[in-house]
Copies of this chain bind each other. A is one copy, B any other.
């Protein structure tokens, strides 16, 4: 295993990049999709399944974990890897996004943010330094700077204020993180839907010489075209030799189009959340298993899938489990969906390595456009 964090670019195909992040707990093959393990569990999945479908890294949510079971407690129990029984790399967010979206009575100042837990109303404070401290207690391998993420649409002055604050917080996080060769702290490009602000943010972060860069504040209400435009503007400002992570994104289509623009890492709750709501991701697009047309259909979701549950479970059985509210329905569809996302990433990686990303892109989109196989 590598003793220090590093990123190696193995191949490019247009702007799409095939690479590998190496760190003491393992390698991350990029482009990578990180299943979201909010509170120390990728919902409704066993960790050996998460590994089995091909995930090299999972994401943990600092906000959720600091509230319950608590960062100091996780540290006493040996860190998040030991606690959740996932010995491979973990990326934690800063907590800032969920503080803004979930907590109560929050108050933001230059120093940081104070808020009350959405679970029990307890008061907390989160500063750039405390965020890095918590992520250190969790012992996460890739830590994120605290930032302020602006929901879109927003006024340009508001976007700029939050972006500039995020830059100052990035400096403080860098100082707090210090010198940890085996780990990394990533900065986050903000700037909303403003090209000029995105460029300003990316250049300032680049100058800080961080180990990796995320693009934040996208997929927060704007059309996909705006997100892609911001990636077109931002990616060229980021150093080629460092990994680029698009936060909280997204649909398989978002991922394909973002890889085409030079993004290396993704995370999203969509495969597990949609799975819990009865929706499967497949080669033929999304399939709603609640639909009555599946009730008598003995065929699997995709008989050519490499994942056993996708290949073996009858649609009729999945339909029944979903309709009856059975936990096994959420379990099967979560694994089926995360497996689909991982197979998509594997296809992307192989295509870039072979210089056939564009063909893969077209073929994959044709499968989705064809739609789910018709009932017999």
Contact: A326 with B296, CB < 8 Å? no
Question: Which single member of B68, B83, B296, B321 contacts A323 (CB below 8 Å)?
Answer: B68
Residues of A24-77 whose CB lies within 8 A of B? 39-41, 43-46, 68-69, 73, 76-77
Residues of A83-109 whose CB lies within 8 A of B? 83-85
Chain A contact residues, majority secondary structure? loop
Q: Are A327 and B44 CB-contacts (below 8 A) given A39-B320, A320-B68?
A: yes
Contact: A328 with B69, CB < 8 Å? no
Q: How far is the CA of A314 from the CA of B83 in the complex (A)?
A: 7
Q: How many chain-A residues does the 8 Å CB contact rule pick out?
A: 34
Contact: A295 with B328, CB < 8 Å? no
Q: Nearest CB to that of A324 among chain B residues?
A: B39
Q: Are A316 and B45 CB-contacts (below 8 A) given A68-B323, A327-B331, A331-B327?
A: no
Q: Nearest CB to that of A327 among chain B residues?
A: B44
Rounded to whole Å, the gap between the CB of A362 and the closest CB of chain B is: 36
The copy count of this chain in the complex is: 2
Contact: B44 with A298, CB < 8 Å? no
Contact: A77 with B43, CB < 8 Å? no
Contact: A298 with B78, CB < 8 Å? yes
Q: Are A327 and B73 CB-contacts (below 8 A) given A83-B314, A85-B317, A317-B83?
A: no
Rounded to whole Å, the gap between the CB of A291 and the closest CB of chain B is: 14
Residues of A320-367 whose CB lies within 8 A of B? 320-321, 323-324, 326-328, 330-331
Question: Which single member of B44, B73, B296, B317 contacts A296 (CB below 8 Å)?
Answer: B73
Contact: B45 with A328, CB < 8 Å? yes
Q: Nearest CB to that of A45 among chain B residues?
A: B328
Contact: A39 with B77, CB < 8 Å? no
Q: How far is the CA of A319 from the CA of B73 in the complex (A)?
A: 12
Which residues of the other chain, B, contact A222 by a CB distance below 8 angstroms? none
Contact: B321 with A41, CB < 8 Å? yes
Contact: A314 with B41, CB < 8 Å? no
Contact: B68 with A324, CB < 8 Å? yes
